[in-house]
Chains A and B, each alone.
Chain A
Amino acid sequence: MAERVFVMPDPGEGLEEGTIVAWLVAAGDAVELNQPLVEVETAKAAVEIPSPFAGTVVTLHGDEGSDIAVGAPLVTFDVEGDAAEPQVPPTDGPRATPPVRKLAKELAVDLAAVAGTGPGGRITEADVRAVAGEPDVDAPAPGAPSELSPTRRAIAANLERQAAIPQVTTFRTLDATALDAHRRALDLSPLPLVVAALGVVVPDHPLVNSAWRDDHIEARETVDVGIAVDTDHGLFVPVLRDAGRRGIGAIAAELDRLADAARTGSLAAEDRRATATIAVSNTGSYGSEAGTPILSPGTSVTLAIGVIAPRALVVDGEVAARPAATLSLTFDHRVLDGAAAGRFLTDLMAVLQSPERLRDLPR
């Protein structure tokens, strides 16, 4: 059993309060979903409010004849653990600017729990980062250096959070003949082609572009690809936004820009703050055959591409030397299962192994 507080909803358009006319249940009563709880009179109408839960009434907040503000507790229930938690209607929350709210959302910081140090008690970016345990990127560098740089500590904290996620990695061998030929023809590394292929394939597999949000799975509309970039200061994952709308050329240019910026420490605030919907790690760039990538924040899958090198593949029943690479896909098992991950990899490989479909990728 769990306690749930049902707050006074706005029964009309923009009403601020209602008067309790009559309670239709009493503390201790067992109630069903949608059973009338209370009759409330507002400036617009008299309405019966039905119970949002099946459970037991613990407390009725307010006596008959008293006024109750929209958003104030109305009834406290004991409900079975699996009852749906209704969302509290929006009320005046803590003061923070939209960018700070956005940052808080990204870092999963509850603004209600943050003490604001800004003007008028406004919550600042530094307040949020402090609660999240992240360094204030715009703050002056901390005084005496410890052995760990702020970046390294932030990375470690992130990794720890990510490690708590039930994640599984699955592997496939890619016949990279077509991919290698095509990328040589375009004089590019394989990465922009893979990213472009993701832009085409991911929309058919919404779960790989989703995020676990504790009470629901959030599907995203655009494919924003986080690209793991190794730098002298540690690993960065800048985000290439809306891969589905870009051609290969634009993707390659943007990848170069992001990688350069990450390496020179000049990533713009918007690049740092963007949230990836899916992530890619080019483990092949430092020679690894295969990686077991860790999920990036906010993503449900991370794809790693191993080095492309000749391997003995069975082609039409014959062993042949072909350029090949290992694709590793780490996925959040809460969001998708092995079959869904497999279907996605199959579709992705179908593009990457087909000269025609590679040619058809948006330039």
Chain B
Amino acid sequence: MDAPRHWAGTAATRILAPDGTAVGDPAVGLGPDDLRDALRWMVLARRLDRECIALQRQGELTVYPGFEGQEAAQIGSAMALGAEDFIFPSFRELAVALARGVDPVRYLWYHRGTWHGGPYDPRATRFGPICIPIATQIAHAAGYALGQQLDGVGAITVAYFGDGATSEGDFHEAANLAGVRRLPLVLFCQNNGWAISVPTREQTAGEIWRRAEGYGFPGVRVDGNDVLGVYAATRAAVDRARAGEGPTLIEALTYRIGAHSTADDATRYRDAAEVAGARAFDPIARFGAWMRSAGHADDDLLATYQAEADEHALAVRAGLVAQGPPPEAWAFDWVYAHPPAPFLRQREEALGG
């Protein structure tokens, strides 16, 4: 089976081959319980993703950007971070948010149209607001990393973004700044092959990981559907950053199985055969196969995880559909720390006192 087209070129590092056999050293520093957690999170995340798409079709979410196929890239990287490390996500990182302990109902307020940005507490969860303007969050991550560096606290910052984001000026500006100041930052690119309808080859003529050299720090290309490979690569980048050695750019090669969002019809620009081919590289099947062969999981455990995931998805659904619109005052309440008088007059005009 052919790998997705954008995986061509420099071979990505991997620990598990697509069929689940180990081609590298699986002892990446995750114990049996951690390994099972990784599998459990991936199953949970995929199930929730599918529930979200159903919820959108039922009018319970406005527009929802799915992430099916990217579970290993998200869970593997998230598990390599410490509790004090801070994440600035884009808008497709629900699996990272889950692994980070963000309440999924709160997270999904965003896609329900209940609230913008970070309906959860970004400081408490150390998971920044959902960020739609492409690549802008990378500059926030650089700034946060700069703040941590100035404070000398040893925490690192991770920016998540996609292949399309690397075409934006903010990616370049932030990466360049990170290089100049040797910031404790990990630039984690999920190259899923598509930026809405534009394939990676029309996005950039080079390989994304190679950009790092121009900024004066290392870049790595990892098989983003290999959760152990992603964990190991992220862990190495995190360790480098924590040791004061500066940023790393990780290009995780993965594949967006679904459309860009529920408002997009991918059949307009993408062959069904390509998607079917990519399914052969499914990250959960790959890791599940290895877990069985390594004796860490069996059918019963997988069934348990699936049942747990079903229950979790239904609980999130229940929490979400019960959520009515917020008070109208919320449209005004946090615009300013010190609201000016003319603004308060408008608030009164809108809310009737």
What residues of chain A lie closer than 8 Å to B352, measured between beta carbons?
97-100, 102-103, 269-270, 273
Supposing A44-B265, A50-B58 touch, asked if A215 and B351 sit within 8 A by C-beta, the answer is no
B window 310-353: CB within 8 A of A: 314, 317-318, 321-324, 327-328, 333, 348, 350-353
For residue A47, CB closer than 8 A to chain B, the reply is yes
| Chain B residues with CB under 8 A of A9 | 56-60
> What's the least CB distance linking A10 to chain B, in Å?
7
- Stretch touching chain B among A84-92, A143-151, A167-175, A340-348: A84-92
Distance of A45 from chain B, by nearest CB (Å): 3
* Complex-state Cα separation, A34 to B50, whole angstroms: 10
Closest residue of chain B to A274, judged by CB? B353
B262 at the interface (CB under 8 A from A): yes
Given contacts A50-B57, A50-B58, A102 and B328 within 8 Å (CB-CB): yes
A11-B262 contact given A34-B54, A50-B57, A50-B58, CB 8 Å threshold: yes
Q: A6-B58, A11-B262 are in contact. Are A99 and B353 (CB under 8 A)?
A: yes
Report whether B328 and A98 are in contact in the complex, using a CB–CB cutoff of 8 Å: yes
A side interface size, CB within 8 A: 42
Chain A contacts with B in 88-140, Cβ cutoff 8 A: 88-89, 97-103
The residues of A that contact B328 with a CB separation of less than 8 Å are 98, 101-102
The answer, among B56, B62, B321, B351, for a CB contact under 8 Å with A99, is B351
User: A268 — which chain B residues lie within 8 A by C-beta?
Assistant: 353
Query: Which residues from B are CB-within-8-Å of A13?
Result: 62-63, 263
Distance, CA A220 to CA B54, complexed state (A)? 29
Known: A215-B322, A218-B324. Is A47-B57 also a contact (CB below 8 A)? yes
B60 touches A87 (CB 8 A): yes
A213 to B327: give the CA distance in the assembly, Å. 13
Max chain A C-beta neighbours (<10 A), residue from B265, B267, B268, B350: B265
Contact A216 B324 (CB under 8 A): yes
Contact check, A98 vs B350: say whether CB atoms are below 8 A apart: yes
The complex places the Cα of A89 from the Cα of B263 at a distance, in Å, of 16
From residue B99, how far is it (CB to closest CB) to chain A in Å?
Answer: 24
Contacts of B51 in A (CB 8 A): 34
One of B59, B268, B353 near A10 (C-beta < 8 A): B59
**A337 touches B (CB below 8 Å):** no
Q: Is B298 on the interface with A (CB-CB < 8 A)?
A: no
Instruction: Determine the chain A residues whose CB is within 8 A of the CB of B274 once the complex forms.
Output: none
Query: Within residues 93 to 126 of chain B, which ones have a CB less than 8 A from any CB in chain A?
Result: none
Rounded to whole angstroms, the CA-CA distance of A213 and B328 in the bound complex is 16
Q: Do A84 and B58 form a contact, CB below 8 Å, given A98-B350, A98-B351, A213-B324? A: no
Q: Whole-angstrom distance between the alpha carbons of A102 and B51 in the complex?
A: 33
- A87–B324 touching, CB < 8 Å: yes
Q: Does B264 contact A (CB under 8 A)?
A: yes
- State the interface size on chain B (CB cutoff 8 A): 31
Residues on A with beta carbons closer than 8 Å to the beta carbon of B353: 99, 268-270, 273-274
In contact, B321 and A49 (Cβ under 8 angstroms): no
- Is A260 close to B, CB under 8 A? no
B57 pairs with A49, CB closer than 8 A: yes
Q: Which residues of A contact B259 (CB under 8 A)?
A: 45
CB of A133 to closest CB in B, whole Å = 20
Decide yes or no whether A227 CB sits under 8 A from chain B: no
Q: Which residues of A contact B333 (CB under 8 A)?
A: 221
Q: Determine whether the beta carbon of B321 is less than 8 Å from that of A84.
A: yes
Distance between A11 CB and nearest chain B CB, rounded to angstroms: 6
Complex: A216 Cα to B63 Cα, angstroms: 24
Report A250-280 CB contacts with B as 1/0, cut-off 8 Å: 0000000000000000001110011000000
Beyond A87-B321, A270-B353, is A7–B263 a contact (Cβ under 8 Å)?
no
Instruction: Give which listed residue, B264, B314, B323, contacts A45 with CB less than 8 A.
Output: B264
A362 contacts partner chain B, Cβ-Cβ < 8 Å: no
In the complex with contacts A44-B263, A44-B265, A270-B348 CB distance below 8 A:
yes
* In the complex, chain B residues whose CB is within 8 Å of the CB of A102: 328, 351-352
Q: Encode contact with A along B56-79: 1 for CB under 8 Å, 0 otherwise.
A: 111110110000000000000000
List of B residues within 8 angstroms of A52 by Cβ: 58-60
Please name all residues of chain B whose beta carbon is closer than 8 Å to the beta carbon of A88 when the two chains form the complex.
59
Alpha-carbon distance A327/B54, docked complex (angstroms): 49
Scoring A residues 203 to 229 as 1 if CB is less than 8 Å from chain B, else 0, what string do you get?
000000000010110101100000000
Q: Is A320 interfacial (CB 8 A cutoff)?
A: no
Asked if A310 is at the interface of the complex by the 8 Å CB criterion, the answer is no
B54 A50 Cβ-Cβ under 8 A: yes
Task: Find residues 53-101 in chain A having any chain B CB closer than 8 Å to their own CB.
Answer: 84-89, 97-101
- Enumerate chain A interface residues (CB-CB to B < 8 A): 6-7, 9-13, 33-34, 44-52, 84-89, 97-103, 213, 215-216, 218, 220-221, 268-270, 273-274
- 21 A-B pairs within 8 Å (CB atoms) are namely A11-B263, A12-B63, A13-B63, A33-B314, A34-B51, A45-B263, A45-B264, A45-B265, A46-B265, A48-B57, A50-B54, A50-B57, A84-B317, A85-B321, A86-B58, A97-B352, A99-B352, A100-B352, A102-B328, A213-B324, A273-B353
